[in-house]
Chains A and B, each alone.
Chain A
């Protein structure tokens, strides 16, 4: 069975909510829309206090090419345009909407009927990309890179394959898994749309084989699409990393930064993105809701929700039986790459794939011991780096040596720190080094 070549670790899967079907989350009393739900320039608010909005009303427009618009996911009145501490931990401009009823914009097709690509033969690639761009679809796996940018290959590059990331290698998370089980046809149409948009004839969907039911169902459904192949992959973290997935599926290695996947002919999209693209193009529905896993060992009932974007996390936790007494840490995303949240007012945003509640005991890091030079971090690094060395060079501010040792190639997957027997906080230091070195490189390039 295929997998990526270098390193990797096997964290306990803990897919607590794998068997729980996707549940429609309750509407919140107030929804909050950060204008910063994607990588790139923040969106520019186009509404003011007192404006009446419906589901699908534009709240903030994209500001530049690498940006994405934000739509209202609820109907009601704009309470204020202010700021909120969002999942990133920073205070960002946001639009607050008081919810009244649930009225949808007329242009959105809310029927459940499947619209196939063959039903819409008139769609041109340009139209598809334009619709995706207008709907504000971003990478739903957590990276939140505006989708239309990836679908517009820079000049001089040619896409050969579309690879769909349905790996979900993060422990605990099951959002993509459930989505595949419940919306397989829609996903496949979405994949076909992506392939048409970038003009390729071969698509792969990579699924780790800890989801045999999803592999079976998708293979069955994909029989109708000869150009789409389901690729079962051996379970190994971080298979969902873009570069790792490309290597696992088509065996090509993306060169070190600044090269991007398109340089080896691959366009990678998350399975949730494929679904969002289907809805955006075929149903005319902007990105207003997403599947999010709310989970944790001490949580009463871990659930997968279809939640409106802007719903406060606390609403979702209440729907799972409330915040447990012994909560130590709340993580937006998975345990390997997620971000610890400061409070529960943080709204669901386009990139929120999960919400993980950890109890006090799980949450604390172990006591740091001296490095015993066991080289387990070297063995675990999926990028073939030497984490122990990068961490020390960063700690001693030896940026030059850090750069020589390719610190910028680090994908911050956390495998090194996960595996370290001495509980060393390798990635903390490496992150500081990486951001410094990247700053130095930028400064150098700017001078040239």
Chain B
């Protein structure tokens, strides 16, 4: 007689997969990738390639030779994604060896030490970036001016909008803010900065794509952006030395962080309520660091801080169970 398979229900599956989600995010990053190539040319290409290749290599090598895992998670796209995001968070003139160190820290320390995919408490790409930021502050904060398509390490550098904002606050002089580029060029990406963060428009396109394909839900990005907008608006109205909220939204890594870094599955809370709390907190911390802190940018720190709170949020933000209302 024929042997049937027996298993418990459900017997069908949605065919959704880890790969589909990870590569979906990668596809969502394509507009930003194109934008970075348009603005930084060769430099962007070298940095991104180096970052992705290094991340994938470290993931494979650590899984195979150190952890001796049965099957590696290289093919599921999570390492490619980490590599892309790490690259997006770096200036386009960063020397290769620094990038490789960043990738090693991101994958090795940020992800694999905790047991690989799904186990890491912190966003690996951000662990890599913050490690580089505190280890190589000079290289990490000299951003080339966009438009130098063939220059790599010899690219001319300039102050970013964030540095201008910080300067205005330090000087207490609102006229410093006139040095900021106009809104249109900030939206499209005619400013200095890390690779992936220059074009807010490209990032928003990616966000819309992810929302449409239901890779992520709106809770985290919207709550971060709304919080930042409201809070910086309050500051701006109270004192004109603080930049206007639209400039704050479009400058620095805020868009990239809100759309792609904070929404990382593994390190963000599970329930919608928790996700909103997480998003609002990230927005608050970012604005506070940007306004009162020593660093011009606070997005990566804000996300990492809230990553640490994720288990706590998960523990306390329970979804409302069916029928709970009538229990009272």
Contacts and interface: CB of A to CB of B under 8 A. Distances in A.
> Is A bound to B?
yes
Interface of A: 6, 9, 11-12, 89, 171, 243, 247, 252-256, 259, 264, 323, 327-331, 333, 335-343, 356, 358, 362-366, 369-376, 378-379, 381-386, 388-389, 405-406, 409, 412, 414-415, 417-423, 427-428, 431
Nearest to B8: A428
Given A370-B119, A373-B265, A171 B325 contact: no
Nearest to A10: B14
Contact of B5 (A9, A12, A328, A381): A328
Contact of A372 (B18, B322, B327): B18
A9 B14 contact: yes
Contacts of B20: 421
B6 to A, nearest CB: 4
B116 A365 contact: no
Interface range for B: 35 or more
Contacts of B270: 373, 375, 378, 386, 388-389
A418 B10 CA distance: 7
Contacts of B11: 329, 331, 335-336, 338, 340, 356, 358, 362-363
A340 B6 contact: yes
A98 B322 CA distance: 49
Interface in B250-289: 265-272, 275
A365 B5 CA distance: 10
B13 A409 contact: no
A414 B21 contact: no
Contact of B12 (A89, A171, A328): A171
A428 B17 CA distance: 19
27 contacts: A11-B14, A171-B12, A253-B323, A255-B324, A264-B326, A327-B2, A328-B5, A329-B11, A339-B9, A340-B7, A341-B6, A342-B4, A358-B11, A363-B11, A369-B117, A370-B116, A370-B118, A373-B268, A375-B265, A378-B271, A384-B320, A384-B322, A405-B318, A420-B16, A421-B17, A422-B118, A427-B8
B319 interface: yes
Nearest to A14: B12
Contact of B17 (A356, A418, A423): A423
B1 interface: yes
A243 B119 CA distance: 35
Nearest to B326: A255
Contacts of A337: 9-10
Contacts of B266: 372-373
B18 A422 contact: yes
A9 B116 CA distance: 29
Chain A: interface secondary structure? loop
Contacts of B265: 372-375
Contacts of A330: 4
Given A340-B7, A343-B4, A375-B265, 9 more contacts: A9-B14, A243-B323, A254-B323, A342-B6, A373-B266, A385-B319, A414-B9, A420-B13, A422-B17
A44 to B, nearest CB: 30
B244 interface: no
Most A CB within 10 A of own CB, among B16, B21, B266, B322: B322
A384 B118 contact: no
B325 A253 contact: yes
Nearest to B11: A335
A15 to B, nearest CB: 14
B4 A243 contact: no
A243 B322 contact: yes
A415 B324 CA distance: 20
B73 interface: yes
A256 B327 contact: yes
A365 B13 contact: yes
A355 to B, nearest CB: 13
A356 B5 CA distance: 13
A385 B321 contact: yes
Nearest to A323: B2
Contacts of B118: 370-373, 422
B76 interface: yes
A323 B217 CA distance: 44
A253 B117 CA distance: 38
A376 B265 CA distance: 10
A31 B311 CA distance: 57
Contact of B271 (A12, A339, A386): A386
Given A362-B12, A375-B271, A423-B13, A409 B7 contact: no
A336 B4 contact: no
A11 B21 contact: no
Contact of A382 (B9, B10, B12, B322): B322
B232 to A, nearest CB: 29
Contacts of B6: 89, 329, 340-342
Contacts of B272: 379
Contacts of B217: 379
